[in-house]
Amino acid sequence: MSVNFQELVLPLRSDIDLVRLRQSVREVLVAIGFRLRDQTKLITAASELARNTLKYRGGGEASIQRVMNGVRLGVRMALVDNGPGIADISLALKDGYTTRGGLGLGLSGSKCLCDEFDIQSSIVQGTTVRITKWKPLYILSLVPNLLIYTFNQPASVCRKGTFLATSGLEPDSERFWSPTQFRTAYA
């Protein structure tokens, strides 16, 4: 089960809105602590999908949410339009498919840049694309009923610093441990 945090909804009516969307996505990703590489992936996917919303469907709106699934943190977006919809989604997701002379990599490329990708479209109701990018989780050690992990650093770096430990039951059970405290408490 995932937990949704505050949702930000932005209009997509012009190129200025596209710039605002990219900036907002970046701000959310930085606040959560995503690495630059993963920021770039989601910002690129969001930009491609928003541009499609503007170019092919006359605009719409985008929502950005921070989400949590157990100990995993992520960002989920939905891009919605009320345009004519996509007649053949599987064909539209193929590399190189285009209806307006572009490279045909917008939808398929965006799908590759995200951890989760879902598209719903109807000729009558328009198109909704939902994408999610999860922050990488590095597991350092497993002890009965205790998971030790870090979000941004490889284990070799974290052994010198502070661990984040949780029982895995509730996000509120997180505590920071130094390596000495952990060895003393769980030796």
Select from 165, 129, 160, 169 the least CA-distant residue to 150: 165
Q: Can you tell me whether residue 27 is helix, strand or coil?
A: helix
**Per-residue pLDDT at 159:** 40
**pLDDT < 70 positions in the chain:** 1-5, 95-106, 137-187
Task: List Cα–Cα distances, 81 to 41, 110, 146, 153, 174, in angstroms.
Answer: 22, 17, 44, 38, 39
**Per-residue pLDDT at 169:** 36
**Per-residue pLDDT at 160:** 39
- CATH class of this structure's domain 2-134: alpha beta
Q: Can you tell me whether residue 101 is helix, strand or coil?
A: coil
Give ranges for CATH 3.30.565.10 in the chain.
2-134
Say how far apart CA 46 and CA 158 lie, in whole Å.
32
